[in-house]
Structure 1
Amino acid sequence: MKAVFMMTAAATLVGTTAFAGGHVDRTGWPESFTVGTASQGGTYFAYGSGWANLVADELGVSGGGEVTGGPMQNMALVHTGDAAFGMTTMGPARESYDGTNPIAPGLQMTNACAMFPMYQTPFSVTALSSSGITSISEIPDGARIGFGPAGSTSDTYFPRMMEELGVNFERRNGGWSDLGGQLQDGLLDVIAFAAGVPVPAVSQLEVQTDVNIIEFTEEEQAAIMAAFPVAAFNIAADTYTTLEAPARSVSMWNFAIANCDLPESFVYEATKVVMSDNERMVNIHRAARSTLPENWDKNTFMPWHPGAAKWFNENGASIPADMIHSGM
């Protein structure tokens, strides 16, 4: 059963001039919308619920964040129109476009369009300090590792990365908050996070206990970059109180997505709300420091929604016509 958390700013006021964008043609606008996020305790839920609430506030359309299984499921929900908007990482997006999304093998999910760049998702490992685990090589044989919700970016890629690095493990899945509790209770040895930083579940763990945030060695980082669609990334020292220096990692870009059939004016206005005031987004989550117009070019394959492309091209981007969804 889907758990829907609606952050409603006001009653639906489609057609009103009392809200930003009220002067535009609202023909075909939905009376409400949802943003597909991920599990509670992860960055997607905090970030996605926040920007859903912001758009609802500014446009006067009831909207909120929806708890989902993460990027793979969000691609499916947005493709089918079960969610107007969603959040995905570019690896799962590519697999979904190619028809290899495990939720619906063989279905090319081409009715999900790029909306705006969000942030980079670092891959990081956390263990309790009491475990004595301070490096990937020290993870014991058969360790119980939590990889996040089934089908999430973390669950899709991190097990493969661990195997690439020679780690033998028992695979566990669950929401980030639940996995954090299991780590504290000794039911897990390690959590392998792929989420925008700071990850709420890690920040909560730091308050309650002593943790080790484990970075990759240069050799491990190079091996992962050679095998997977990720780039080098450093988790800044001020991200967590536990860190005393930047932590070496790898990352994958995240994008907001929109159902390609949504009205151009609606997606244009929603994109404008998110992208025109970065400070508001950073107040929602610090990962939004990368939610900037100049990062439009981090999408190299997914067609843009015409409404989003219009806003970006008006604000310094140069999205070519063949990268804009035509509906044909």
Structure 2
Amino acid sequence: MTCAAAAGLALGSATAFAQQEDWPDSFTVGTASQGGTYFTYGSGWANLVANELGISGGGEVTGGPNQNLALVHNGDLAFGMTTMGPAAEALAGDSPIAPGVPLDNACAMFPMYQTPFSITVLEGSGIESISDIPEGAAIGFGPSGSTSDTYFPRMLETLGVEFDRRTGSWSDLAGQLQDGLIDVIAFAAGIPVPAVSQLEVQTDIRIIEFTEEEQAQVMEEFPVAAFEIPADTYQSLDGPARAVSMWNFAIARCDLPESFVYAATKAVMENHDRMMEIHRASRSTVPENYDKNTVMPWHPGAARWFIENGYEIPEDLIK
């Protein structure tokens, strides 16, 4: 080990310095497209962990939760981020990325935040509710294979909306909405969504909320929960907006060294103030939300941190 590397490790935790021989020299966190919350949040916690552990690490643009599960499972990435719906499908071998192949080498690491499903239109579109969306409307659902692209089309079909399906990065879709090339963007991302915040600076937009009946219908059909987008999330909101949401978790390759994942989990869970500087969605990135994982096995290193800090994870839920 070089003196420079030793100095870097010394800046991290004592655990990192004492148990680093079997650690990778660097790591990558799979995020999603630019303009979305995953990219900002994931790149941020990657940098935080890299600084705390004294090794090289960063975020990588990907297709989002489904692709992250596959890349982590295959060993292409050390870490990633996913939502519980895609995780359940992946474990069952129903992932659209790898149909018939259970992606069981991706383990839960720590709770991130809830992903609300919300709809954005231009103020002058005449669309004031989901039922107002005209037949054949061009709707952008985010990157292909993302949580939004996987679930939002099915949700809108359940609610009787007929549409022309479009995909792309959130930034690209925001530009298309502003230019009149699409009619609606159906967002599923942590709030505030950077692309929406940028849109409302540049033009007048409207956030469309679910009615109580629409919310109940979607909750009955899909693995989502009731959610309210707080009024202070966007300038365009006059009050809370009714929505549905799905939990997100950070994931780690199950065969990564226990001490490495323990140290990475510790870095995030014990630096909430720094996580809040990365993205406001981090207000939900707290240990108490560990029980929102009802799907994935826990990585032994992550489970060790939670158990040491008083949270109960049964042995049969640890990989």
Same structural fold, with TM-score higher than 0.5 when normalized by the shorter chain: yes
The answer for the alignment partner of 1:20 in structure 2 is: 13
Kindly indicate whether the alpha-carbon contact (under 8 Å) linking 1:12 and 1:32 is maintained by their aligned counterparts in 2: no
Tell me which residue corresponds to 1:147: 141
Which residue of the partner structure matches residue 289 of structure 2? 295
Paired residue type of 1:20: S
Aligned to 2:228: 234
Displacement over 2 Å in runs of 4+: 11-24
* Matches for 1:186-265 after TM superposition, within 5 Å: 186-265=180-259
User: 1:14-73: per-residue Cα shift (whole Å, max 9, x none)?
Assistant: 994343244321121000100000000000000000000111111111010000000000
**Aligned positions of 1:85-164 closer than 5 A:** 85-164=79-158
Secondary structure (helix, strand or coil) at the match of 1:23 reads: helix
User: What is the aligned counterpart of 1:280 among 260, 274, 288?
Assistant: 274
Read off the aligned partner of 1:243 and give its amino acid letter.
Answer: L
Percent of aligned pairs sharing the same letter: 73
- Segments of structure 2 that go 5 or more residues without pairing to the other structure are none
Q: Which position in structure 1 is the counterpart of 2:262?
A: 268
1:307 aligns with 2:301: yes
Higher helix content, 1 or 2 = 2
TM-score by length of 2: 0.97
What's 1:81 paired with? Answer: 75
Secondary structure at 2:27 match in 1: strand
Q: Please state whether the residue corresponding to 1:212 is helix, strand or coil.
A: strand
Which of 72, 76, 86 is the equivalent residue of 2:66? Answer: 72
Structure 1: 5+ residue stretches without partners: 1-10
Give the TM-score, by structure 1 length. Answer: 0.94
Amino acid at match of 1:27: E
State how far apart, in whole Å, the 1-side matches of 2:69 and 2:185 are.
25
8 Å contact from structure 2 (residues 29, 42) kept in 1? yes
Contact in 1 for aligned 2:10/2:54 (Cα 8 Å): no
**Corresponding residue pairs, total:** 315
Shift of 1:132: 1.4
Distance 1:56 1:314 in 2: 23
Secondary structure of the structure 2 residue equivalent to 1:287: helix
CA contact (8 A) 1:24 1:265 kept: no
Local SS of the residue matching 2:18: coil
Q: Which amino acid aligns with 1:34?
A: T
What's the offset of the Cα at 1:312? 0.6
| TM alignment of 1:173-184, pairs within 5 A | 173-184=167-178
**Counterpart code for 2:12:** F
